[in-house]
Amino acid sequence: MSAPVAGTGTGPARTSPLNWALLALLILDTVLLATLELFFLPLRLDGTLLPRLAWIPVPVTVILAVVTTPLLVSRAGLLVHPKAAFAPLLVWVLTVLVLGLSGPGGDLVLIQDWRALLLLAGGALPAALALGGALAGNPGRSG
């Protein structure tokens, strides 16, 4: 198997410093989103502070995690290299676990009920699917 020749379109494209800066910004966004999703996990549409959504309490930040983590993962894979798509998922999981289990002042921020499991599943599973899609690559894209 021969090595790809530069400029032929068969090898990995050169990544600009701007793309690396954007990846760093995506990682920072991932940390901020994971922190917000964790701290506001008890906030839900249950009629106490926010209006009730039917009769089912819905943790609002889980919906935010389900939407944002796959977007961050897929965008990171497009910016630098498909293998870089793992970074937002890894950073999100580490932020939720480290901050949730040893929060500010040693407090346990990750609540001990079904909402914590829902947050972990809602953030990690869709992002893992997006990671698989990023690693599989786009058939129309070379690299």
Q: Print pLDDT tens along the chain (143 aa).
A: 444 444 444 444 567 889 999 999 999 999 999 999 999 888 877 677 777 776 666 788 999 999 999 999 999 988 888 888 999 999 999 999 999 988 778 778 888 888 899 999 999 999 999 999 888 875 555 54
Domain residues for the domain of 101 are: 17-44+57-136
Q: For 39, which DSSP code?
A: H
Both tokens of residue 34? 């994971």
Please report whether residue 6 resides in a domain: no
Please report whether residue 130 resides in a domain: yes
Q: Give residues with Cβ within 8 angstroms of 79, minimum separation 6.
A: 15, 19, 22, 23, 26
Please report whether residue 143 resides in a domain: no
Please give the tally of structural domains in the chain: 1
Give dist(CA 25, CA 67) in Å, integer: 18
Please report whether residue 7 resides in a domain: no
Please report whether residue 94 resides in a domain: yes
Position 57 scores a pLDDT of 66
- Which stretches of 20-68 are assigned E, i.e. beta strand? none
pTM here is: 0.79
